[in-house]
Amino acid sequence: MILTNRPAQPGHRLAAILAAVGIIGLAISGTLMARRVGAFHAASPRVVYAFQPVDERAFTYAGRPVTIEDEPAPPPSADGVAPGSPSPYLIVRYGDETLRLRVLIPRRHELPGLKTHEDWMRLLRFAPITGMDMAEFERRLGAGELADRLVIATRAGPAGVDPATWGSVWKRDWVFDFYEFRPDGGFERHERLKYPTTRGVRAPKPGELHENTWQFQAALQLMPQAGSIGPTHNFFGNALAEAGWTLPVAAFSGLLGTVGLAFACAPRRRSQWASAERAP
C-alpha cells in the first residue's frame, strides 16, 4: 500500500483571502477612525478640571473676605413648637453678600472646619488641569498663574427620606446645586441638575448632569464612595461616539483578519489515499 499526501489547498487559500480582506479593512477603517478622532479633539478639546477642597471657614477670595458660620435651629418654645423654620442653616458671607443654605443632612459630630457638612456640601476651588500634571498644577495655582474658580456644591436627596440610609443610595433622586463666587462680588447660582440617567451614546436628558462639564466633575466629589456609587459612563459627545461606523468595521475587520490568518497558518491536514499495488 502506498501513502501519498495531498494538501487541502482550497481551504487554506480561502482563509488567506479572508485574512487579507480583514487586514485591508482594518487598515482603511482604522485610518479613517484615527482621522475622525483627531478632528474631534482638534475641534472640541476636552477640558479636565482639578478640584481642591477648601476646609477653612474664614479666608479671602478675589480680594474680599469670606466667612462661613452655622446658624443652629431655633430652640423649641414652652409648648414644644419651634418658632419659624426648624432647620439649621449655613451662613456664607462674601464681601457684602450673604448666602443662606439650609443644612440638608444634620450634623452628627462636631468636626473641625467644614468636615461636619461634607456629606451634603463641598467648597471647591478648581481650575483646568489639561496638559499639566498635579505638581505643575499646584505650583501654578499657588503662584496665581491660573484663573481659579470657587464654588459651593450641594447634594440633596428625596424629600422625607433619611439621608443617612436610603437617601444615600437612591441616587436617581439626587439633585445638585452650584453657587459660584463671582470675582466681581456676589454669588451666581447655576442651574440645578439631577443625577445622570442616560447610558451608551444617548444625548443627556435636559436638567441632568453631563460629562465633560465642571458641574459633573464637581458633583462627583459629593457622591458617597461606599459600594462604588457613581454614574454610568455615557459616551455621547466624545471621541468614541465620533468614530461612528469606523469603530465596528475596524473591530469586525480585525476579528476577520485574525481568524483568517490563524486558519491560513494552521498545519495542513494529511490525507491518506490507498492504492493497491500487487506484487508479481
Is 274 or 15 the better-scoring residue by pLDDT?
Answer: 15
User: CA torsion angle for 71, 72, 76, 77 (degrees, to 10)?
Assistant: -40
Mean pLDDT score, 154-164: 71
Mean pLDDT score, 160-187: 79
Delimit the domains of the chain by residue range. Answer: 9-40+243-264, 47-237
User: What is the average pLDDT score of the chain?
Assistant: 77
**pLDDT of 138 higher than 50:** yes
Give dist(CA 213, CA 215) in Å, integer.
5
**Closest C-alpha among 202, 195, 206 to residue 230:** 195
Sign of CA dihedral 190, 84, 123, 115: negative
Give dist(CA 55, CA 182) in Å, integer.
19
**Closest C-alpha among 175, 233, 159 to residue 199:** 233
pTM above 0.85, yes or no: no
Mean pLDDT score, 57-71: 93
What does the pLDDT read at residue 200?
A: 60
Is 9 or 29 the better-scoring residue by pLDDT?
Answer: 29
Give dist(CA 11, CA 179) in Å, integer.
69
Mean pLDDT score, 245-259: 78
**Closest C-alpha among 167, 219, 168, 170 to residue 191:** 219
First to last CA, the chain: 14
Q: Encode pLDDT of 118-136 as tens digits.
A: 888 999 999 888 778 888 8
Number of Cβ within a 10 Å radius of residue 238 = 18
Is 270 or 94 the better-scoring residue by pLDDT?
Answer: 94
What does the pLDDT read at residue 201?
A: 61
What does the pLDDT read at residue 130?
A: 78
Which residues does 71 contact at the CB level (< 8 Å), separation at least 6? 88, 89, 90, 91, 100
